[in-house]
Structure 1
Amino acid sequence: MIERFYLKDYLSFNEAELNLNNGLVVFTGPSGSGKSILMESILTSVGGSSCDATLCESSVTWEIDEEECRIESDDINVFKHIKKEKSRYFINNQSLSRKAMSSVAAKYLRHLSLKDFSDFENENLLAILDERIEAKSKSIKALKKKFHEVYTEYHWTEHELKVIEEEEKKIVELKEFAAFEIKKIEDINPQPNEDEELLEIKKELSRKEKVLESIGSANEIFNYEHLVASALEQLDVDSSFFDDAMNELRAVFDGAEEKFNALEDVDVESVLNRIEELSGLKRRYGSIEEALTYKEQKMQELQKYENIEIEKHDLEQKYEELSREVEQLANELSALREAELMAFEKDLNIYLKNLYLREAKLTMQRVAYSKIGQDMLRIELNGTALDKISTGEFNRLRLAVLALKSEHMNKNGGVLMLDEIDANLSGEESMSVARVLKQLAEHFQIFVISHQPQLTSMGDQHFLVYKDGTISKTKELDFDERVDEIARIISGDKISDEAKKFARELLEAKK
């Protein structure tokens, strides 16, 4: 529920603070006093609308999914809209987009001012029907769970079969392509790091002649080695360091000559051609390692294509078994629903009669399987499709459906916001709407703007919206103040004794 609402600087409001109770919360007041402005600002505080108020703030008891929203939840969560140069939205002082805030609030708050067909969507209507069945027999719960499990596997198997069938259509082409790609790489037969080794050979070949020539010239140093040794001996200096250096130099030169002489048998043109082949692979696949990985992937694909007939046969057998099981479970589910449908229609029409509406006709037909079965439930009002009926009829029909749903609710349903649902209704029609809202208020916190005494009298909490000069203000009314306000609604600004008496009777009857 929304426990507290605060508004600052919006049109005719300087400031408003509402401490709200659960149940049916009624807003009344003269035309132009600011009731719709107040409703709009409450919606804005939770991202359901947008206005130019400096501040709209609602403190709510809604639970917030911390992982989904990345916002820390508290016992009381504060939704806030602030506007200076631009609008900003916050939950518990953490900034987020209006869309994100609206998504959080949508789980708990619904604004029933427009023709929102969501209550008449097949899934929602079937949920109400199933809840009625469950109240009489718990077997449907296990049946629905089993159907959902089997249908999920059935749907997955059906998808996999379609994938295989699509692959089959182009299997020859795919096999040829995979084999072609494999052969192209195998013909070159690259080895890991081969390109680096060949580039090193190419580098050595390019400098072989020059290096050997330099070594040949440098070998002259060994012709004078004995002179250095003799001079060191005459100087009484140990010549071992010189001998070691000369031996190390010999080893370096010998090793170099041996390495370059080994390249004598290397065909330079073959090396260059091989490098070019490997370069082509690298240009296509990125590296030799990636080319080898791609080849392995294509080999696995080729194996898969060769095994596809076996896989398809196994899937077809599984699909046939699941089809039979889905059909059986769906038929059982449909039978339970068909058995309850007449009672569902009868009870709905009781509400509609009390709401002074024409009778509704419910029809159920078989459609393609989905996660909720094979049934499509539709409502028409005396043969008229829902998109053709008036807004007033639509809203009262929606109240009847919500009332049926509430009969089996075991938790709070959140917040319902209605503007002037009893506008242009007779006294009897208004009272019928009030009774349904009173029933719904056992499961919902309901905000409603009313201009009729019947609905107003049924409120669990009553706020007057009025103007003090040009400034809009709000006031929570006590019993006597409610009597005066309902009397004003009945007789206008000149309140008569008869109006006050009738207002008091309405309020006392509610008790």
Structure 2
Amino acid sequence: MIERFYLKDYLSFKETELNLQSGLIVFTGPSGSGKSILMESILASVGGSSCDAALCESCVTWDIDEESTSIDNDDVNVFKHIKKEKSRYFINNQSLSKKSISAVASNYLRHLSLKDFSDFENENLLGILDKRAGAKSQKVAKLKESYQKSFLEYQEVKKELHVIAEEERKIVELKEFAAYEIKKIQDINPTAGEDEELLQIKKELSKKEKVLSSIESASEIFNYEHLVSSALEALDEQSSFFDDAMNELREIFESAQEKFCALDEVDVEEVLNRIEALSGLKRRYGSIEEALEYKKQKETELAKYENIEVAKNDLHVRYEELSTLVQELANELSSLRAKALPAFIKDLNRYLNNLYLRDAKIHIRKTEYDIHGQDKLEIELDGVELSKISTGEFNRLRLAVLALKSEFMSSNGGVLMLDEIDANLSGEESMSVAKVLKQLSKHFQIFVISHQPQLTSMGDQHFLVYKDGKISKTKELSMDERVDEIARIISGESISNEAKKFAKELLEASKCVL
């Protein structure tokens, strides 16, 4: 729900703050007082509309999906729209585009002003029907779960068969290509790390002559070794440190000579050719290790191509099994839905009759299998397609569907925003709309502008929007103030005693509804 709303500097509003409760929240006031401006600014705070307010801010209790939105939840999440030179949108001080903030809010808030057909989409209508059927039999939920699991596997197997069919059409070409790629690497037959070893050998070969020449020249030092030993002896100094150093130097020179002598057997041309071949692989695949991994991948593909008939036959068997299973489960689900449909239609029409609308007809027709089965629900209002009925009828039909859905709701459905839903309705029609909204308010926080006493009296919270000079202001009304405001709606600015009496009766009667 929206717990608090704050608005600053928008048209006739200088500043206003609303502390909001759950349930049905009604906004009333004289024409031109700013009710629609207020509703528009609430929508603008969550990206659902545009306005030039300096600031409009909504504090909400919505638990935002952190993984999909990358927005961290706070104890109270704050949606904000600021307009200076341009509009900027924020959630918990994190800047977002209008499109992004609107996408987040759309999961929790709906503005029922236009002909939004989402409530009449097949998935939603089947969901309501299945909930009602499931209330009478636990078999429905288990059946749907089994069907959906089988259908998803059926789709996956069907997809795999399609891939195999595509591969079969070009199997010869694919096999030849895989074999060619394998042979290209196999002919060189590299080993991991071989390129580094060869580069080291190349490096050693390039400096062999120079190093051996240097060692030969430096070995002259050993011809004078005995002179140094004699000098140390004459000085009565120990010569062991000198002997050790000279022995270590001999080992170094001998080791180097052995290593370079071993290179005499190396074919320099062969090493260079091998390095070039390995470099070609590295240029193509990135590294020797990646080339070997690619070869392994192609060998796996080649084995798969060679065994494709076996895999295809196995998949065909599983496909036929799943096809039969999906059909059986879908038929069983359709049968349960068909049994639940008459009660669904009866209860929907009960709401429609209360809303002073004609009866609706609902047909189930078979369609292609999807995740919801093989059934498609289609609604007509007294034989007229939904696209052709009036906006007023459309909105009341939508309320009836929402009311039907709410009967089995176990959690809060979010926020519904309605404009003048009871405009141009008679007193009885307005009361019928009010009663349906009252039921929905058990599961939704509902914002509604009303000019009718019946709907106004049903509000759990009542705000008056009024003008103080040229400035629009809001005020939450007490019970006595509500009596006066409803009486004003009934009789105009000159409030009569009869209007006050009727207002009190409406407010008392509203306590008994639901």
What amino acid sits opposite 1:71 in the alignment?
Answer: D
Describe the SS at the equivalent of 1:22.
coil
Report the RMSD for the aligned CA atoms in angstroms: 2.9
Q: TM-score, normalised by structure 1?
A: 0.89
Give the superposition deviation at 1:220.
4.6
Write the distance in 2 (CA, Å) between the matches of 1:37 and 1:273. 81
Task: Indicate the residue corresponding to 1:71 in structure 2.
Answer: 72
Distance 1:280 1:500, change over 3 A: same
Matched-pair contact (CA < 8 Å) for 2:63–2:73:
no
Write the distance in 2 (CA, Å) between the matches of 1:88 and 1:500. 46
Task: Indicate the residue corresponding to 2:43 in structure 1.
Answer: 43
Q: In the alignment, is residue 342 of structure 1 matched against residue 338 of structure 2?
A: no
CA deviation map 1:394-433 (0-9, x unaligned): 1111111112212333333332110011222333332332
Q: In the alignment, is residue 285 of structure 1 matched against residue 285 of structure 2?
A: yes
Q: In the alignment, is residue 375 of structure 1 matched against residue 375 of structure 2?
A: yes
Task: Indicate the residue corresponding to 1:303 in structure 2.
Answer: 303
Give the superposition deviation at 1:449.
0.7
Q: What is the number of equivalent residue pairs in this alignment?
A: 509
Write the mapping of 1:126-205 to structure 2, written as runs, cut at 5 A: 126-205=126-205
Distance 1:211 1:468, change over 3 A: closer
Q: In the alignment, is residue 32 of structure 1 matched against residue 32 of structure 2?
A: yes
What amino acid sits opposite 2:111 in the alignment?
Answer: H
Task: Indicate the residue corresponding to 1:95 in structure 2.
Answer: 94
Task: Indicate the residue corresponding to 2:434 in structure 1.
Answer: 434
Describe the SS at the equivalent of 1:423.
coil
Write the distance in 2 (CA, Å) between the matches of 1:303 and 1:480. 85
- The range that moved more, 212-221 or 195-204, is 212-221
Distance 1:164 1:400, change over 3 A: same
Give the superposition deviation at 1:331.
0.6
CA deviation map 1:94-135 (0-9, x unaligned): 434255544443333221111111101111111111122122
Task: Indicate the residue corresponding to 1:270 in structure 2.
Answer: 270
Write the mapping of 1:79-478 to structure 2, written as runs, cut at 5 A: 79-84=79-84, 87-91=87-91, 93-97=92-96, 98-99=98-99, 101-223=101-223, 244-478=244-478
What amino acid sits opposite 1:474 in the alignment?
Answer: T
- Please list every run of 5 or more consecutive structure 2 residues that lacks an aligned counterpart in the other structure: none
Task: Indicate the residue corresponding to 1:17 in structure 2.
Answer: 17
Give the superposition deviation at 1:381.
2.3
What amino acid sits opposite 1:55 in the alignment?
Answer: L
Write the distance in 1 (CA, Å) between the matches of 2:367 and 2:302. 40
Q: TM-score, normalised by structure 2?
A: 0.88
CA deviation map 1:262-283 (0-9, x unaligned): 3333332222222221221121
Distance 1:352 1:243, change over 3 A: closer
Give the superposition deviation at 1:475.
2.4
Give the superposition deviation at 1:337.
1.0
What amino acid sits opposite 2:72 in the alignment?
Answer: I
CA deviation map 1:295-321 (0-9, x unaligned): 222222222323333222222222222
Distance 1:211 1:136, change over 3 A: closer
What amino acid sits opposite 2:397 in the alignment?
Answer: L
Distance 1:223 1:458, change over 3 A: closer
Write the distance in 2 (CA, Å) between the matches of 1:490 and 1:307. 83
CA deviation map 1:21-73 (0-9, x unaligned): 33322211111100011112222334433433333343444444455554244
Describe the SS at the equivalent of 1:312.
helix
Identical amino acids, percent of aligned pairs = 75
Describe the SS at the equivalent of 2:333.
helix
What amino acid sits opposite 1:272 in the alignment?
Answer: L
Give the superposition deviation at 1:229.
5.5
- The range that moved more, 295-304 or 247-256, is 247-256
CA deviation map 1:240-292 (0-9, x unaligned): 55555555444444444443333333332222222221221121122222222
Write the distance in 1 (CA, Å) between the matches of 2:205 and 2:480. 110
Distance 1:154 1:241, change over 3 A: same
Matched-pair contact (CA < 8 Å) for 1:71–1:94:
no
Describe the SS at the equivalent of 2:207.
helix
